[in-house]
Amino acid sequence: MLGTCLGKLKLENPLILASGIRGNTAALLIRAAKEGAGAATSKSCSLTPRTGHANPTMAGTEGVFINAIGLSNPGVQEEILEIRRAVKEAKIPIIASIYAKEVEEFAEVARLISEAKPHMLEVDISCPNVHREGAMFSSYKEDAAKVCAAVAEATKIPFSAKLSPDVPNIGQIAHVCVTSGAGCITAINTAGGMYIDARARKAVLSNWFGGISGPAIKPIALKAVHSIRKAVGEEVPIIGTGGVSNGIDAAEMLMAGATAVGIGTAIAARKEDAPFEAIASELKAFMKEEGYTKISQLKLEE
């Protein structure tokens, strides 16, 4: 009932551990599998190690979380070892997330991480790289296209381009990513935001700005996924990510046009020992109640 496919990649259920949440090591990716995830995405890695931002890097209230971790990671050479172990032991598809500061670096990281034989790559072109006037690679369709073309040239492993909602036309960006070699789209990354402590007269995060996640961004994610589906057609898989906390949220994301559903903040917020399994059960219960027999039937009525 819950099976889905990302291109040729088969998932037993559509729930995917999103990048950045419990994906730092092979052990945590394996843990996601044991908790019922259909696939798991690693935390983004770069060509060389990165320490990230100084504390405080996270803050939140009910339903709204903000972080500026700074993409800390041990570098691609260490990540190869973690991904290789996860692929061997997790028994679910493993998606290796990568990011870089330059187009050529994206290609090099993709080439190197491919040695670990992940089932898919996720190319994060929506992290806060200082590229053109402080913009993300996904801010301009020309830059997004260059990255995707370079990665497609560097590896034979299928990849998904991860996009930001902070653009005028996310569907247009998704379309050029697909025509430039991306076989899938992940949407959305966190939305940019800021917290201020009025009494201290200071920004709460050391980096001042961060990415908003949690239930508050679900409407933004739903709109983005729907827009992308309209732009790329029915055949391109979409990993809908952002604000999904339960089975009904997952159903809504699938109705918006997603093929699979990325879950991040909710995994830390929910109290079950197997949160993916619990959300999958909620989704299955909804489908049975409404008369659905497979997730491809979850569509909006026009």
Q: Are 27 and 36 in contact (CB under 8 A)?
A: no
Helix axes 76-89, 103-113, angle to 10 degrees: 40
256's CB contacts (< 8 A; 6+ apart) are: 221, 222, 223, 225, 226, 229, 240, 300
Catalytic residue among 127, 148, 177, 184: 127
Q: Are 259 and 238 in contact (CB under 8 A)?
A: yes
Cα 119 to the center of its chain, rounded Å? 15
Catalytic status, residue 45: no
What's at 131, amino acid-wise? Answer: H
Tell me which residues are annotated as active site. Answer: 127
